Amino acid sequence: MGVKARKNRLLAERPLPQDGRSRRPGRSRAVRSVTVNLAESPLGWLHNRGHVTTRHYAAGEQLRLDWEKAQLPPVVTMQWDAPPLGKQTRAAPEDAAPTMRQIAARRRFDAATKAAGPGLRDILWRVVCAGEGMREAETALGWPARAGKLVLQMALDRLADHYRMR
């Protein structure tokens, strides 16, 4: 990777959880840290480390793309547009009618999550769309540690079959 490519990545130093002092009194260990790419998605992280296949990654990215095109992510900011000149009220703007592309993307998203199945769509949405890490998704779903990766792989496999990816 070239120097220019490295500069464009969002990197941050994070201390490792097991870092710090040793558990034995009188002995100390040097503190270590790891460089984390903050722009990398949890699915991208799993793919880059060989935990999901390229087929699984492509299927997950297609689902995320449909989710974003359908404008399903929550909006976390207010609308800063100026009110129309003839309208002097400060009421919230009316919801705009969804476009045909949004409707089509919503249908594709719904069909894909339905194809994954009721037990698998939760982990798909949490990791692929919401960007939760595996540990957070497993905790939120009440699953034991390391169970989420296997279930996510099964969900991504069904998703790839639905998208007819080879």
Mean pLDDT lowest for which of 11-20, 99-108, 132-141, 142-151? 11-20
Amino acid 132: pLDDT: 93
pLDDT above 80 for 79: no
pLDDT at residue 109, as a whole number = 96
- Report CA-CA distances (Å) from 5 to 9, 38, 48, 61, 147: 7, 15, 17, 22, 35
Query: Given this model, what pLDDT does residue 27 score?
Result: 56
Helices vs strands, H then E, count in the chain: 7, 2
pLDDT at 85 exceeding the cut of 90: no
| Helices 54-69, 100-116: inter-axial angle, 10-degree rounding | 140
pLDDT at position 98: 80
pLDDT digits (tens, 9 = 90+) for 28-78: 666 666 666 766 899 999 999 999 999 999 999 999 999 999 988 877 776
Going through 18-109 in order, the beta strands assigned E by DSSP cover: 33-37
What are the phi and psi torsion angles at 28 (to 5°)?
Answer: -125, 150
Q: pTM score, two decimals?
A: 0.68
Question: What percentage of residues in the chain have a pLDDT greater than 90?
Answer: 54
